[in-house]
Amino acid sequence: MQELLISKRWPSAYKEKLQLYSFPTPNGVKVSIALEELGIDYEAHRVDITKNETWTPEFLSLNPNGKIPAIYDPHGPGGQPLRLFESGAILLYLAEKTQKLLPSNPARRIETIQWVFFQMANVGPMFGQVGFFHKFAGKEIEDKRPLERYVKESKRLLGVIDEHLGAKEWFMGDEYTIADIAHIGWINNLVGFYGAAELVEFQNVKNVQAWLARALERGAVQRGLKIPDGP
């Protein structure tokens, strides 16, 4: 593996392995869960967003947008190194690289990607705003209209997911895919870390509850939710 600027701050002990630069946030754990599910040999580096480490020159050399997660795969397409950021793009890349977690049927494949995009465009932004206005600095804002707006939309999105799941085991029926992985961290955080279960009336989306319980029973999910761990 060629010497990378990012490796000067986060040295690699195994340069031939895929390198993950992340933090255990809902977006970060998408990639660690996928890597654990796929059994890919990788090395994880903790990029502490609470210390603004994503805005250092070293991290920005890998992701100019200054957000986790990002990866460096020394064995990318055609055997060439690949630098990649954006959690949804990384999920799709890993699934295509291994030919796993993504249906081979063209119609089911694009439907799976559709749900990944749904999470990226809707679930992440809305649930994240609920977390900010309910748990973090936003709760100090006297005007409650922002929180009410994001709670209302989050309820609607949970309803969309609940109706889609119906009696399904996973987003794509009996096939566990990157569509499930994309949602696990966000829904788990909403009702857990953000403490917003009652706020979004999580008790009313029984199908989502059952799906989340199934997901959290998976060993790869349990491991991935804790990667990268603390120092």
> How confident is the model over 178-204, as pLDDT tens digits?
999 999 999 999 999 999 999 999 999
DSSP string, 117-158: HHIIIIIHHHHHHHHHHHTSGGGG-S--HHHHHHHHHHHHHH
1 has a pLDDT exceeding 50: no
Report the domain count for the chain.
2
2 has a pLDDT exceeding 70: no
Distance, CA of 44 to CA of 36 (rounded, Å): 11
Residues 50 and 145 in one domain: no
DSSP, collapsed to helix, strand or coil, labels residue 69 as coil
- Please tell me the predicted confidence (pLDDT) of residue 32: 98
Domain residue limits at 126: 106-221
Confidence of residue 59 (pLDDT cuts 50, 70, 90): very high
pTM of the model as a whole:
0.96
- State the sign of the Cα–Cα–Cα–Cα dihedral 211, 216, 218, 221: positive
Q: Kindly report the average pLDDT of the chain as a whole number.
A: 96
DSSP, collapsed to helix, strand or coil, labels residue 43 as strand
List pLDDT tens digits, range 83-135.
999 999 999 999 999 999 999 999 999 999 999 999 999 999 999 999 999 99
Sheet of 18-22, strand order: 42-46, 18-22, 70-73, 82-85
Residues 65 and 158 in one domain: no
Looking up residue 188, the CATH number of its domain turns out to be 1.20.1050.10
Of the three residues 74, 100, 126, the one that is the final residue of a domain is: 100
Q: Taking each helix axis from N to C terminus, what angle separates 124-134 and 178-191, rounded to the nearest 10 degrees? A: 10
Residues 210 and 128 in one domain: yes
Q: Is residue 119 part of a domain?
A: yes
Average pLDDT rounded to a whole number, residues 220-230: 91
Percentage of residues in the chain having pLDDT higher than 70? 98
Residues 186 and 81 in one domain: no
Average pLDDT rounded to a whole number, residues 23-47: 98
Average pLDDT rounded to a whole number, residues 55-68: 97
Q: Is residue 49 part of a domain?
A: yes
Residues 78 and 37 in one domain: yes
Residues 61 and 117 in one domain: no
Residues 111 and 214 in one domain: yes
- Please tell me the predicted confidence (pLDDT) of residue 3: 59
Please give the single-letter amino acid code of residue 127. F
DSSP, collapsed to helix, strand or coil, labels residue 19 as strand
Of the three residues 100, 127, 146, the one that is the final residue of a domain is: 100
Distance, CA of 43 to CA of 18 (rounded, Å): 6
Distance, CA of 222 to CA of 225 (rounded, Å): 6
Residues 132 and 187 in one domain: yes
